Amino acid sequence: MDFTKMHGLGNDFLVIYGEVALPENVSELAIKWCNRFFGVGADGLVFILPSEQADFKMRIINSDGTEAEQCGNAIRCVSKYVYEKGYTNKDNITIETLGAGVQQVRLQVEQGSVRTARVDMGEPVLDGLAVPTILEENPVLNHPITTGGSEFAFTAVSMGNPHCVIYVDDAPNFDLGTWGPQLEVHPYFPRKINVEFATVTSRDRVEMRVWERGAGPTLACGTGACATLVSSVLNGLTDRAAWIGLKGGDLFIEWDEHDNHVYMTGPAEIAFQGSL
């Protein structure tokens, strides 16, 4: 099976094209191939499959073998892959996702190379039970949560996958490894959750670090960046368009007040190719 190693701001994937469905043992393969010591190493496997309702379908298997409903960095990688490999000649394409339906992607192409992709990530889900959390609140805004003897406050947002955004004094130096795994499996979250720790530095910039459900600490999270912008607007901390600074680089996120959709713009890169 051939693969292309790609990343969106360091959030990396093994992208596989040509299968018609997920392999039966896909969870085992993800755990094996994503291992950074005994495999290729990645945050997850991304399969580009045929779709009956869009140009392509994307399925994402995390490094722990679980499936993710959506991934903003992966969808940019998929978009770059299908265009540069010649599987489409359109610079506006549609990609079917498991948790967020069909999403529109607009490519910025220069001399045959995709420089950035602007993805319509759809409308954020703010109802607590739908995110899902166990809280009957809409929205779940600045809600207290206790773990490991410490109390935080979180805002819950789903971008096709669940997120809780927590504001801290110094996100780039926050102890992600201690608090991320505890919050991921907190009883508030019946399907676990992605955890973003954020520090607002201005009305148009937020520094964020992420603990991803099923993958642990990653250098970037596209849906997490979208959730962070939505949370920051709801909490009155930023404007409706801002740069989200991740460990791997910046994403530009917009929450359109007319259609209520969130738009994400950022790069994707090919690292290398191989076969498994």
From the annotation, which residues make up the binding site?
A: 11, 62, 72-73, 161, 194, 212-213, 222-223
221 catalytic? Reply is yes
To the query of whether residue 77 is one of the catalytic residues in this protein, the response is no
**CA separation, residue 72 to residues 9, 201, 227 (Å):** 11, 23, 11
Which residue in the list 34, 71, 164, 226 is annotated as catalytic? 71
Taking Cα atoms as reference points, which of 107, 92, 183, 175 lies closest to residue 144? 183
Q: Judge contact between 175 and 182, C-beta under 8 A.
A: no
> What values do phi and psi take at 114, rounded to 5?
-80, 115
Tokens 């110094």 — which residue?
A: 170
Q: Can you say which residues are annotated as belonging to the binding site for substrate?
A: 11, 62, 72-73, 161, 194, 212-213, 222-223
DSSP 8-state assignment for residue 170: -
The token pair at 162 is 């669940």
| Max CA pair span of the chain | 55
Catalytic residue among 34, 164, 221, 226: 221
Q: Which are the catalytic amino acids?
A: 71, 221
